[in-house]
Amino acid sequence: MLALVYMLADRARDQARRRRIDPDFAAGRRGEDLAHRFLRRHGFTIVARNYQRRAGAGEIDLVAWENDQLVFVEVKTRATSEFGMPEEAVDSEKQVYLVRAARDYLRRANIDWDAVRFDIVSVLLTNPPGIRLIRDAFRPKRTL
């Protein structure tokens, strides 16, 4: 039992250090917070944040309901658009991981695949921040 307490304390300390040191981590977290508020203001009901598969790679930043559709949301944040828009980082490889995590979520929640959509929220950390919702950003190409 004590080993578990030490392990959790080490993990919390590592995460706190990473937040202080890694500007990308802090920017990503800020972008997720902004996207979360943005979606709520636009009528989405957020039901999960940072959902991870138990079986490995794949994380979904936000899971939300919009009316009768379950929406899996990938949030991409950049300080500037100098090297491209944030949503351009959601390539086909990233989409595969998102779809796998979504299928895992659907299986656990017993929700039908037909009620699903994949959106991207693009966040530019300008002053004020630029936030753009890309509905139905991609559709899975094949069953995984």
CATH of the domain at 127: 3.40.1350.10
Condensed to tens digits (0 to 9), the pLDDT of residues 3-58 reads: 665 666 666 666 665 555 445 567 788 999 999 999 999 999 999 999 998 877 78
Residue 1 lies in a domain: no
Residue 73 lies in a domain: yes
Residue 80 lies in a domain: yes
Domain count within the chain: 1
User: Crossing angle, helix 2-21 and helix 23-41, to 10 degrees?
Assistant: 90
Question: How many whole angstroms separate alpha carbon 75 and alpha carbon 79?
Answer: 13
Residue 53 lies in a domain: yes
Say if residues 73 and 63 touch (Cβ distance below 8 Å): yes
Condensed to tens digits (0 to 9), the pLDDT of residues 57-99 reads: 789 999 999 999 999 999 999 988 778 888 888 999 999 999 9
pLDDT of residue 65: 97
Say if residues 89 and 83 touch (Cβ distance below 8 Å): no
Cα 130–Cα 40–Cα 139 angle in degrees, nearest 5? 75
Secondary-structure breakdown of the chain: helix, strand, coil percentages, each rounded to the nearest 5? 45, 30, 30
Residue 108 lies in a domain: yes
Helix segments in 42-142, DSSP class H: 92-109
pTM for this structure? 0.80
Residue 59 lies in a domain: yes
Cis peptide upstream of residue 23 (ω within 30 degrees of 0): no
Residue numbers of the domain that contains 71: 23-134
CB count in 10 Å sphere of residue 131:
18
